[in-house]
Structure 1
């Protein structure tokens, strides 16, 4: 347990930052899950719009220092590659759902 005032303050600050970072990461993960779902089950236009929204959230998360900028770039690149792969496969409309 911290004894000095400055150490106690650091603990309070770390708890606040940890909560804020967890919140940002959760928002980012939710947007990526939504995008992944649209890549698999929605028309391509919807998936591309979701990619723009997810990229914006990923960039914001990186700019706040929650994730590293290289990790943000890697995530965006991989998500965009999945959309490009779907374009190359010629699946412009929603792909058939598997039963």
Structure 2
């Protein structure tokens, strides 16, 4: 248990930040899954719409120090690579 006022405040801050970070990470995972599923099913428009949302959440998480900026950039790059492969593939 924290004894000082500052330690008590830090405990409250950490709990609040933990909730925010968890929610941001969950949103990233959800939209990443949606994007990948759309790519696998060959739904280009849906994949692009989900990719925009994924990018938005990755950028916000990186800006707020939830995840490292390089990690956000790497994930966006890998998703974009898959999306580009889907666009290049001739539609049947």
Same fold (TM over 0.5): yes
1:45 shift after superposition: 2.2
1:53 shift after superposition: 1.7
**SS at 2:14 equivalent:** helix
Matching residue of 2:34 = 34
Answer yes or no: is the 8 Å Cα contact 2:47–2:83 preserved in 1: yes
Gaps of 5+ in 1: 94-99
Gaps of 5+ in 2: none
Q: CA RMSD in A?
A: 1.5
Give the number of equivalent residue pairs.
Answer: 92
1:1-99 counterparts in 2 under 5 A? 1-90=1-90, 92=91
TM-score (norm 2): 0.89
Higher RCO structure (Cα 8 Å, ≥6 apart): 1
> Which is richer in helix?
2
- Separation (CA, whole Å) in 2 of partners of 1:16 and 1:6: 15
- Separation (CA, whole Å) in 1 of partners of 2:6 and 2:49: 46
1:61 shift after superposition: 1.4
TM-score (norm 1): 0.83
- Separation (CA, whole Å) in 2 of partners of 1:63 and 1:87: 29
